[in-house]
Structure 1
């Protein structure tokens, strides 16, 4: 069976190519999960400028009507590389640490991204002052929550030591979840921008906030459950370095698991009923639904 006829979890691995469309159906969680595995694929970080240019030129040729220049697989791969490196709205190259594919490899830099929006992947550019203000507010609130919970747990003399230890391990979970508006362009099925909506951006922010709130759940819930198993081994107990190394590996794997799952909760290109938007939109279009890019 050829690669273009093979399947992945019941979906064709390389279906008939569709420009600017995900390779897998977005109506189901599983389809979105497979799509985001492509989006966060760290191998795209190694793409050279010449390879990126080749992919962009191939897609331009396809758009110009040259449909038989490459196979479906080559076209999907070209679109994957372009989508992983270039911003979908601006077309500008996103720096590697701030790409979704760099989220896990550069996690030691971007771990605070769980507490605030990633400006490189936002659907609209934000002023630096707002970014810094949001960062300081998020870090302050997260540290306050974590510090307060830790203090209260230590002072809770009625709790058995084992119970206090378990609760302390999970302190980061509520801290980051709790820490976690101009308008946004809405467009029709053909991609024609109808206007800018504050209602749509509220929905986009809500979906993104839920994604960000869920993102640390596997990351911060799995290591406390897994580490006690490894801590039973002497070779881990006898060396703080080995303990740190095992902990880092477990956290990295947990992060890699949580990222595509969190992103798959909602489609990146979301739909909204015209009746839910501001009244002026009903005068601008006959469409019953419009679309917007909520960002990642």
Structure 2
């Protein structure tokens, strides 16, 4: 019966988010690619269970573990701020299958200009979807800003890739294999701040420990975006820096020399193995519910907070993913 269910705060992750291990456990569940196979009906059922539990309504036949399973599925598909169901390719559970395919192809077909243009465009299109879907706060992004961010990030990635390709021609071939990583890192430094520039200009919501909204802060937005950029670059690092050595070795072997068509599938598979672990482990580098000292906020917000009966020394915000 519902009354026998433990009363826990399911608005917070099941595992302790103050520790890296707890955050890693949470993101291994949230980024699980199997979540993508959940039907709309299953997602709506998970949402209903979560909402009913929050309201204290009866949940006959369900255990607290069932509630947590529903919450984990809910978290994988619904935005934490807007509560809307996210576009499937923008969900974190789509990161591994999409990134392994795109990254594998970027690193296989990196030598010709048409291939660089095509795969960097595909990668930035996917990044734009992910960044928009996982934006912090509940402010809509204007189409004009969305388009500008997309063009700047794609242009930055393509320019970086083509420039580095021309520069590394005099170096050993293995060096050229790292060009896609440099392009991806550069694009992340452009794409994410551009896509979320509205947050930089207007701020993101900040809350006290109990979830009471205190206002919007640009300082919190800068902190959130910086954390996401670092996480994304680290997320790409293992799958883009280690496979070049593996592929450079394999391509010298008779097996791959006689079957060059296996190059892309093998590279995609290798990168997939790295991303299965790198994605949740790097998402966990910083708490999803990040915090910042009240003294580090803008003066006007500090003044507003100090006027409260029990002003908090730290405020919290959703950093986005």
Q: TM-score range by the shorter chain?
A: 0.7 to 0.9
| Counterpart residue number, 1:276 | 296
Mean Cα deviation higher: 126-135 or 262-271: 126-135
Number of equivalent positions: 275
**Aligned pairs for 1:128-139 within 5 A:** 128-139=143-154
SS in 2 for 1:139: helix
| Aligned equivalents of 2:39, 2:164: Cα separation in 1 | 47
8 Å CA contact 2:219, 2:298 repeated in 1: yes
SS in 1 for 2:220: helix
Mean Cα deviation higher: 101-110 or 261-270: 101-110
Q: Identify the structure with bigger relative contact order (alpha carbons < 8 Å, sequence gap 6+).
A: 2
| Counterpart residue number, 1:59 | 50
> 1:177 Cα shift?
1.2
| Aligned equivalents of 1:36, 1:267: Cα separation in 2 | 11
Mean Cα deviation higher: 35-44 or 240-249: 240-249
| Counterpart residue number, 1:290 | 315
Structure (1/2) with the larger helix percentage = 2
Match of 1:195 among 215, 236, 239: 215
> 1:88 Cα shift?
1.0
8 Å CA contact 1:268, 1:294 repeated in 2: yes
SS in 2 for 1:272: strand
SS in 1 for 2:216: strand
| Counterpart residue number, 1:30 | 21
| Counterpart residue number, 2:66 | 74
What's the TM-score once normalised by structure 1's chain length? Answer: 0.85
> 1:234 Cα shift?
2.8
> 1:223 Cα shift?
1.2
| Aligned equivalents of 1:257, 1:145: Cα separation in 2 | 27
Match of 2:265 among 237, 245, 253: 245
| Aligned equivalents of 1:34, 1:67: Cα separation in 2 | 29
Alignment pair present for 1:89 and 2:102: no
8 Å CA contact 2:31, 2:92 repeated in 1: yes
> 1:142 Cα shift?
1.7
Gaps of 5+ in 1: 1-14
| Counterpart residue number, 2:182 | 174
8 Å CA contact 2:207, 2:315 repeated in 1: yes
Q: Deviations over 1:178-207 (max 9, x none)?
A: 222231000112211110111111111111
SS in 2 for 1:104: helix
Mean Cα deviation higher: 190-199 or 170-179: 170-179
| Counterpart residue number, 1:119 | 132
CA RMSD of aligned residues (A): 2.3
SS in 2 for 1:105: helix
SS in 2 for 1:27: coil
> 1:135 Cα shift?
1.7
Q: Deviations over 1:142-172 (max 9, x none)?
A: 2222221221221x3xx5xxxx212111112
8 Å CA contact 2:96, 2:272 repeated in 1: yes
SS in 2 for 1:106: helix
| Aligned equivalents of 1:148, 1:115: Cα separation in 2 | 21
SS in 1 for 2:242: helix
8 Å CA contact 2:52, 2:59 repeated in 1: no
8 Å CA contact 1:96, 1:102 repeated in 2: yes
Gaps of 5+ in 2: 1-5, 103-121, 189-199, 306-310
> 1:114 Cα shift?
7.8
**Aligned pairs for 1:209-220 within 5 A:** 209-220=229-240
Indicate how the Cα distance of structure 1 residues 115 and 83 shifts in structure 2: closer, same or farther if over 3 A, else same. Answer: closer
| Counterpart residue number, 2:94 | 102
Alignment pair present for 1:40 and 2:31: yes
| Aligned equivalents of 1:20, 1:38: Cα separation in 2 | 16
Alignment pair present for 1:149 and 2:140: no
